[in-house]
Amino acid sequence: MKNIVLNVSTTERRAAIIEDNQVVELLIERQIEDRIVGNVYKGRVVNVLPGMQAAFVDIGRDKNGFLYRDDLLSYQLLEEDEEKKKERNISEFVTKGAEVLVQVTKEGFGTKGPRLTGVISFPGRYIVYMPQGGYVGVSRRMNSEEERERWRKMGEQVLKQNEGIIVRTVCEGLEQEKVEEDLAFLRKFWKDIWQEGKDLAPPSLIHQDTGLLERIVRDLSFSDVSEIIIDSQKDYNRLLGLLEPYRQLNLKVTYYRGKENVFSEYGIEKELEKALRRQVWLKNGAYLMIDKTEALTVIDVNTGKFTGKSNLRDTIKKTNTEAAKEIARQLRLRDISGIIVIDFIDMKEEVDKQEVIHAFTKALEKDRTKTSVRGFTGLGLVEMTRKKIRQNLQDSLSKTCPTCSGKGVILSDEAQAYRIERVLWEYRNMDAEALVLEVPEKIATIIKGNKNEHLHRLQESLFYQIFIVENEKMSEQEYNISFIGSEKEAKQKAMNHGWNEH
């Protein structure tokens, strides 16, 4: 069973999804954060790139959106043989200066602008509604093909003109009236949006996606949710109103009145701290190492303290199986996406590899984000992809270290001292008699050497005096040449900063 804990009483609004007493997913909403996934814009095409089968669209933001040919509504609605259709060029469907209605499907990252689609869609509780989608889709997770066919026929009966819907898994065994109510609501929702936005000149925002509470009610399946805990009276009442149409779910909604932050009370805060660490310990004493690069994420499985109780093969298989389940949880919790490579402990037997892959794919079934596992490669690595929609947890909660610039390592004290020495050599032929060098204490000790011997030799070689001031406020990678001039003035400046001859 699941619990959902909502910490919405502060400026940063957070929601944690808990399965079997473990945090598996975190949603964050900030006022300063300009979240645009789901927004609908009336945009203008600023450039068409036939070689990339894509177009850049001005949607009124800092970066133009990126729209692929395959995501154009006109391309998707084209009734033509697939092979012939793939030969079509984007220039046949859109031209520079054209006005287009688009929706954001992926946030912009780094230098990339947001990804767009021309197929507008609005998720409801039971269906995804596409005002001009033109087809009926049914969730593949429904167990019965007969049930899937029932919903296909229902969709064809109730849709108007070019409308389209995708029937969600939660509809399995549901009465048709509930889905029709959802469709009627979303149909009116879009009609109101378009009524207000159809006459706006591009680039214009037509629809702003909903807030945290609305997204939770809209996107999550509550069939296995036992309780929702929320720490704001105002939002508690609002949540009850949002859940009113779904009274049959019999959800328990609790208003948290405790003094301690609700995330701390339920142990979620500690889980989030762990989610930013590189190392993840497993219950059996083994551990994972998670390393993120710009292009992909690498996860390494290690036996650690786990030695097993039987033979080596059994120990390795158990470790890998436990790791597979935890990796699936970490992908959801950290919202890791893109290309992912997993280095499980080497297994010789093919049957063991298949058992581990089965455990992994089974654990990934709970993931709301689309994943694709390619299995073991010739080198014994597991390759997979996970769809990227928004910033991952690490990027959302942290920033690049200014000292190491994201490398994770800095120069050793000796290397930093020798680096500064090379800088000092560049002043060798200057006209001034002395300079004042500010460095951290550890670096000063190395530059001076035993009994200042190295400093004396350096001054003799450079033909100027060096007054070294130990600055305790500096980081290990900092230094500053704060004065260059006469020896008398330099000495006085150094003394003002605490320098002494010893």
| DSSP-derived 3-state class of residue 381 | coil
Band the pLDDT of 309: cuts 50, 70, 90: low
Name which of 87-96, 176-185, 481-490 the model is least confident about: 176-185
Q: What's the pLDDT band for 308 if we cut at 50, 70, 90?
A: low
Strands 287-292 and 279-281: antiparallel
Task: Judge whether residue 33 has pLDDT over 60.
Answer: no
pLDDT-derived band at 448, boundaries 50, 70, 90: very high
CA distance 205 to 43: 9
Please provide the average confidence, as pLDDT, over all residues in the chain: 88
Mean pLDDT of 235-245: 85
Q: Distance between CA atoms of 99 and 43, rounded to whole angstroms?
A: 6
- Please give the helix or strand (H or E) that residue 153 lies within, else none: helix 145-158
- DSSP single-letter state for residue 82: H
The CATH class that applies to domain 413-496 reads alpha beta
Q: pLDDT at residue 220 above 60?
A: yes
If you average pLDDT over residues 22-49, what whole number do you get? 85
High-pLDDT (> 90) share of the chain, %: 50
Q: Which of 262-266, 319-323, 344-348, 403-407 has the lowest mean pLDDT?
A: 403-407
Q: How far apart are CA 85 and CA 238, in angstroms?
A: 48
Average of per-residue pLDDT across 366-395: 86
For the chain, the structural domain boundaries read 2-34+210-269, 276-397, 413-496
Least confident range from 90-94, 396-400, 418-422: namely 396-400
Confidence grade of residue 173 (pLDDT, cut at 50, 70, 90): confident
Closest CA to 297 of 335, 354, 347, 345: 335
pLDDT, position 223: 74
Backbone φ and ψ for 166, nearest 5 degrees, come out as -120, 120
Q: What percent of the chain has pLDDT over 70?
A: 97
Which residues on neighbouring strands pair with residue 26, listed in sequence order?
16
What average pLDDT does this structure show over 388-393? 75
pLDDT of 1 reads 78
pTM assigned to the model: 0.70
pLDDT of the residue at 34:
64
pLDDT of residue 107: 83
pLDDT band at 310 (very low <50, low <70, confident <90, very high): low
- Please say whether the structural domain 2-34+210-269 has been given the CATH code 3.30.420.10: no
